[in-house]
Structure 1
C-alpha cells in the first residue's frame, strides 16, 4: 500500500483515510499545513498509486492500515482522520485494533449502508468512470477547488473499477456487519463522529452505531456542510481537527446531531 508522508520529524502521528471517489491526495494540503503533526496518508487498495492492489474486505483493509501504523507511526500509534469510505475503514480499525488509535475523528460514515435508490444510482455510475467529463461534473458537485480538479479527474479515472463494482460498493452499501463493530465496546479511544448538516439522513442515523458502543465516542453535526465538507470548507475542517487533536473535545462550532 502506497503511503505519502509529511513532517516525519514532528511528534504524534495522524493517519488520514480518503473517501471512495478520490485518493490520498485529498489530504495532502491539510497535512502540509499541520507542521506539528507527523502525517501518514495511504492510498487504499484500488485507489491512486495503490490502484493495482485489489480491495478485499473492509476488515482486511483496516488490518492493512493497522500494519502501516505499527510500522511507521511514532510510537506505533496514530490519531485517525477519515471521510466517507475512509471513515468506515477507520471505524472498523478502531474496533479491531483499539490499541493503535490515540483518537479518531471520522465523518460521513454510512455504517448502516444505503437505501435502494442510492445503491442503484451508485452502481450505475461506475460505467461512466472512464469519462473525464463525468469526473469534472462530480468535481463541481463536490465543490472541489479549481486547483484540485485535474488531480481528481486523473485519480478518478485510475480507480480499479472491478474492485469498486464487485467489492467496495457492495460492502459499503450493505452496511458494516455488527460483528465488525463489537470491538468498539472494549475501546477507550476518544472518537468524534461527524456528519455534515446537509448530508443524508442515512449518515446521521449511523452515528449511533458508534456512540451506542464506544464509551468515549461523541457525535456532532457540522453546520451548513455537505458530505465532502473537507473540500467545501477546508479552513473549517482544519480548525475542527486541530481543536480535536489539542483538546479531545468537539470544536464549539459543531452542533448536536
Structure 2
C-alpha cells in the first residue's frame, strides 16, 4: 500500500484514512499543519497511489493498515482518523485490533446497510468514473474547495473500477454485527462524528460503535455535510486537536438526536 509520511521525527503517530472517492491527498494539508505529530497517510487499495492494488475485503484492508501501524508508527501504535470509507476501515481496525490505537476520531461511517434503491444508484454511477466531467460535478456537490478539485478529478478517473465495485458491494451491505462486536474488547477512546446535514441514517449508525465500545462517544458537527474536513478544514482541525490533547469532544459539537 502506498503511504505518505509527514513529520517522521515527531510524535505520537496519527494514521489518516481517506474517503471512498478520493485518496490520501485529502489529508496532506492537515497532516502538514500538525508538526507535533508523526503522520502516516495510506492510499487504500484501488485508490490513488495504490490503485494497482486490488480491494479484497474490508477485513483484509483493515489488517493491512494494522500492519502499517505496527511497522511504521512510533511504538507500534497510532491515533486513527478516518472519514467515510476511512471511518468504516477505522472501525474494522479497532474491532479486529483492539489494542492498536491510542484513540480514534471517525466521521461519517456507513455501518448499516443501504436500501436497495440507494445501492442501485451508487453502482449505476461507477461506469461514469472515467469521465473528468463527472468528477467535476461531484466536486461541486461535495462543496470541495477549488484548490482541491484537480487532485479530486485525477484521483477519481484513476480509481480501479473493479476494486470499486467490490468495495461498494461490501460497504453498501453494512458491517455485520458479529464483526462490530469486536469493539467490545477495545478500551480505546473513540469519538464518532457525523455532519449535521448528513442523512439521519448516518447519525443513527454512530450507535453501532457507542453501544459496543465502552469508551466511545458520539457528536454532530454543526452545519456540516458528509465531507466536512474539506467543507470547514479549520473546524475539523480544532475538533481533532481538542480530542487529541484533552481526550474529550470539542464543546462546539452537538449531541446526537435521532
- The 1-side partners of 2:59 and 2:201 are apart by 21
Matching residue of 1:149: 149
Matching residue of 1:196: 195
Superimposed CA distance per residue, residues 64-94 of structure 1 (whole angstroms, 9 cap, x where no aligned partner) = 0000000000000000000000000000100
Query: Shift of the alpha carbon at 1:140?
Result: 0.6
- The 2-side partners of 1:93 and 1:144 are apart by 28
Stretch of structure 1 that moved more, 76-85 or 195-204: 195-204
Query: Shift of the alpha carbon at 1:115?
Result: 1.9
Stretch of structure 1 that moved more, 118-127 or 70-79: 118-127
Structure 2 residues without counterparts, runs of 5 or longer: none
Matching residue of 1:34: 34
- Paired residues for 1:58-69 under 5 Å: 58-69=58-69
Matching residue of 1:243: 242
Matching residue of 1:139: 139
- The 2-side partners of 1:11 and 1:47 are apart by 27
Superimposed CA distance per residue, residues 153-211 of structure 1 (whole angstroms, 9 cap, x where no aligned partner) = 0011000101111x100111000011211111111000000010100111111111000
Report the count of equivalent residues. 256
User: What is the root-mean-square deviation in Å for CA atoms of aligned residues?
Assistant: 0.6
Answer yes or no: is 1:182 the counterpart of 2:181. Answer: yes
SS at match of 2:10: coil
- The 2-side partners of 1:8 and 1:222 are apart by 30
Answer yes or no: is 1:162 the counterpart of 2:162. Answer: yes
Structure 1 residues without counterparts, runs of 5 or longer: none
Answer yes or no: is 1:88 the counterpart of 2:88. Answer: yes
Query: Shift of the alpha carbon at 1:248?
Result: 1.0
- TM-score of the superposed pair, with normalisation by structure 2: 0.98
Q: 8 Å contact 1:59–1:180 — kept in the other structure?
A: no
- TM-score of the superposed pair, with normalisation by structure 1: 0.99
- Paired residues for 1:38-57 under 5 Å: 38-57=38-57
Structure 1 stretches of 4+ with a deviation exceeding 3 A read none
- The 2-side partners of 1:7 and 1:168 are apart by 31
Q: 8 Å contact 1:84–1:110 — kept in the other structure?
A: yes
Superimposed CA distance per residue, residues 2-52 of structure 1 (whole angstroms, 9 cap, x where no aligned partner) = 000000010100000000000000000000000001000000000000000
SS at match of 1:199: coil
- The 1-side partners of 2:115 and 2:109 are apart by 14
